[in-house]
């Protein structure tokens, strides 16, 4: 049996990259996973991978910022698998610019996906969590649930050109600490994982600067100048960027029963660089 046998997990943004690795890791350890991606295809791909490995999963495609998505996401877990034990708020992307060139749209959209969407998902889950915790307490059982919010070193230390992203990720750390205090009585551990440089399609080397990502009709530039990427890696004590699998491992730590007395924390995952 896996360490998460019988648990039900929500993982937003899990059709690709770090989110996919998180979903696969939790599923390998026995969790039933609701997979989300902006596009149905990648979400179904991750579900297929989990099922082929003998796990259980269900897709819930759509933008985390859509009206009503949070309720649909939470409802999928409860209706399909009969409960909810783990919430990983991972979905997001970057849309960088220096502040004098940053538009209201850039600011609003990044805060919406990285801060408002997790808030709404957690709010949507609150009714089930409260009632489940009360019933378990009445039965004399102590059942822990887990929330892992994905942050960034940009939200801890700041980063030039990312006023929107840094503010949103700092905000998710504040939300984490507040909810750890609110939900402690329900036996919910709420923590953040702040990633440093992780190799994904958003951070891969892009020499020409023309690599883009389609986000609901917007062409968002992605990738990092190879020399900038090389310089960034040289500052990491371990000597390289992290992998999505390593990032997923850090999230998994907060989902384990061994972390039941750890809450309200921000874990920096940066290869030794703060």
- Residue 9's H or E segment, with its range, is strand 8-11
Distance (Å, whole) CA 185 – CA 93: 33
* Closest CA relative to residue 192, chosen from 170, 223, 213: 170
- Integer Cα distance of 241 and 200 in angstroms: 10
Q: Of 93, 165, 186, 252, which one is the catalytic site residue?
A: 165
Cβ-based burial of 215 (10 A; exposed 0-12, middle 13-18, buried ≥19): middle
Task: Specify whether 261 is catalytic.
Answer: no
Secondary element (H or E) of residue 16: none
CB 224 within 8 A of CB 241: no
Catalytic residue list: 165
């Amino acid at each position: 049996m896996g360490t998460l046998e019988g648990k039900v997990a929500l993982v937003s943004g899990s059709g690709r990259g770090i989110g996919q690795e998180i979903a696969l890791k939790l599923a390998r350890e026995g969790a039933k996973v609701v997979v989300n991606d902006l596009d149905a295809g990648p979400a179904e791909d991750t579900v297929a991978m989990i099922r082929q490995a003998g796990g259980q999963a269900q897709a819930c495609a759509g933008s985390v910022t859509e009206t009503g998505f949070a309720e649909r996401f939470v409802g999928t877990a409860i209706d399909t698998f009969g409960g909810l034990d783990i919430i990983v708020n991972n979905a997001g992307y970057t849309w960088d610019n220096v502040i004098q060139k940053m538009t209201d749209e850039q600011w609003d959209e990044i805060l919406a996906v990285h801060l408002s969407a997790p808030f709404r998902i957690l709010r949507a889950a609150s009714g089930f969590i409260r009632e489940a915790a009360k019933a378990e307490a009445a039965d004399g059982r102590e059942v822990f649930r887990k929330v892992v919010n994905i942050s960034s070193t940009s939200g801890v230390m700041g980063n030039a050109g990312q006023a929107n992203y840094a503010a949103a990720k700092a905000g998710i750390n504040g939300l984490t600490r507040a909810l750890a205090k609110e939900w402690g009585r329900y036996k919910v551990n709420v923590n953040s994982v702040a990633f440093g440089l992780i190799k994904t399609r958003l951070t891969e080397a892009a020499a020409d600067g023309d690599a883009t990502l389609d986000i609901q009709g917007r062409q968002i530039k992605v990738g990092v100048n190879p020399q900038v990427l090389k310089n960034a890696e040289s500052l990491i004590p371990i000597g390289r960027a992290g992998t999505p699998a390593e990032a997923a491992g850090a999230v998994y730590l907060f989902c384990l029963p061994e972390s039941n007395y750890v809450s309200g924390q921000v874990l920096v995952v940066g290869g030794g660089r703060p």
